[in-house]
């Protein structure tokens, strides 16, 4: 092979390599581009995972750890109590509220400082107040993680600093934690606060903390809160929430150089792709025609699920009832033991929803126009009353 030919082949290989390197490494099958090494998008009400990328891989999580610290402080019931800042808390490195040893500040204000300004000193002060010690609080953190179902999470501190090798979680676990925390009204308020003032007993000026979450403060109109994070080893981490048309989404990214745009991209894709869909309204099920269950089996909550347009056409529901008591006992309500059955919603042979059905001896039935109006607004799903 001549020198000229070898040169041409070498140039061709170089060009091919460069083209390969230019292909975005963050492309996904769903058409969403995310820079994060790990990401997940979760719907709050149902917990449905709408998007994932290495969502179950353990990684460092930095200050999004503080979501756990915040919810445990809120659940302690001590928010109005004053905390005396210890030397250990005041001396905590990294992001800080600049608390002073001996200073007194309410637990509630510490949580605001923790979430808005990511104060590591606030995290330690909270841990010592709620858990008796930092180490005792970490035990509580791990107990709560187990309770929530965070099976791939190990907490070693209340702030997320890289001072322990075994302080790890996953994008999915952090979404579960956020879903749990967002069920608490106080957490939702604090997480969604843009600016908070707190009295400073050691100075003649008040603390003023502005939220570091740019999605909430400027970048995304539908943002409702979240928590930022960064350490040298974890890189950028971010949890954020958004709400549009009644659907609340939770986005989590770990090690994401372009996290703001990652979250905006995931949110916009989901809101244009999925819709909260009423599969069946709560109340007496009219589908059941056979005695003794006719007019007496009740669905106790609206069944709502995020679905694509195509999924709405394919979702199926099925009512499964237990064998009724002997006919001679049908007049005795105590003969019917609740629950009397299950309402199952499936898509592509996978169960989306499974809820119990109860036996009701009396129920005012909707009549006339209002029943007609209600029935217009839930989708028909080909329900099978038996099976």
Q: Of residues 35, 86, 95, 118, which has the active-site annotation?
A: 118
Q: Is position 328 annotated as part of the catalytic site?
A: no
Residues paired with 197 in a beta bridge: 208
201 contacts 103 by C-beta, under 8 angstroms: yes
In sequence order, which residues have a C-beta less than 8 Å from that of residue 54 and are 6 or more positions away? Answer: 37, 38, 39, 171
Of the candidates 183, 172, 209, 185, the residue with the CA atom closest to the CA atom of residue 64: 172
Closest-CA residue to 129 (of 50, 72, 212, 60): 72
The verdict on whether 28 is a catalytic residue reads: no
| CA distances in angstroms from 38 to 228, 229, 253, 287, listed in the order given | 15, 14, 6, 44
Active site residue 100: no
The sign of the dihedral angle between the CA atoms of 271, 243, 345, 284 is negative
Name the one residue in this structure whose structure tokens are 């106080």. Answer: 186
Cα angle for residues 363, 365, 367 (degrees, 5° grid): 165
Active-site residue (options: 35, 38, 53, 63): 63
Annotated catalytic residue: which of 66, 144, 296, 344?
66
Active site residues: 63, 66, 118
């Amino acid at each position: 092979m001549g020198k000229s030919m070898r040169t041409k082949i070498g140039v061709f290989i170089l060009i091919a390599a460069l083209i390969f390197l230019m292909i975005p490494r963050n492309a996904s099958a769903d058409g969403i581009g995310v820079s994060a090494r790990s990401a997940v998008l979760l719907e709050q009400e149902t917990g449905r995972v709408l998007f994932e990328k290495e969502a179950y891989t353990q990684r460092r999580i930095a200050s999004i750890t503080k979501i756990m610290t915040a919810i445990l402080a809120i659940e302690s019931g001590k928010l109005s109590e004053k905390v005396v800042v210890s030397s250990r808390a005041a001396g905590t490195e990294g992001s800080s509220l600049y608390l002073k040893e001996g200073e007194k500040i309410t637990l509630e204000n510490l949580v605001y400082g923790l979430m808005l300004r990511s104060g590591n000193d606030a995290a330690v002060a909270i841990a010592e107040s709620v858990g008796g010690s930092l180490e005792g609080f970490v035990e509580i953190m791990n107990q709560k993680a187990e309770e929530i179902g965070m099976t791939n999470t190990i907490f070693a501190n209340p702030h997320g600093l890289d001072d322990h090798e075994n302080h790890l979680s996953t994008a999915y676990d952090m979404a579960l934690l956020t879903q749990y925390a967002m069920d608490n009204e106080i957490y939702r308020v604090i997480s969604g606060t843009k600016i908070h003032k707190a009295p400073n007993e050691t100075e003649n000026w008040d603390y003023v903390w502005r939220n570091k979450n740019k999605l909430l403060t400027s970048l995304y109109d539908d943002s409702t809160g979240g928590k930022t994070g960064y350490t040298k080893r974890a890189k950028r981490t971010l949890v954020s929430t958004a709400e549009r048309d009644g659907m609340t989404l939770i986005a989590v990214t770990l090690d994401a150089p372009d996290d703001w745009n990652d979250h905006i991209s995931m949110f916009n894709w989901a809101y244009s792709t999925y819709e909260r869909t009423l599969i069946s309204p709560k109340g007496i099920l009219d589908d059941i025609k056979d005695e003794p269950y006719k007019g007496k089996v009740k669905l106790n909550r609206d069944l709502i699920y995020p679905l694509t347009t195509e999924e709405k056409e394919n979702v199926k529901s099925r009512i499964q009832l237990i064998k009724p008591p002997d006919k001679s006992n049908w007049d005795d309500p105590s003969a019917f033991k609740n629950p009397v059955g299950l309402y199952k919603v499936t898509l592509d042979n996978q169960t989306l929803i499974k809820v119990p059905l109860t036996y009701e001896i009396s129920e005012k039935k909707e009549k006339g126009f209002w029943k007609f109006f209600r029935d217009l607004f839930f989708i028909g799903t080909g329900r099978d009353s038996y099976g």
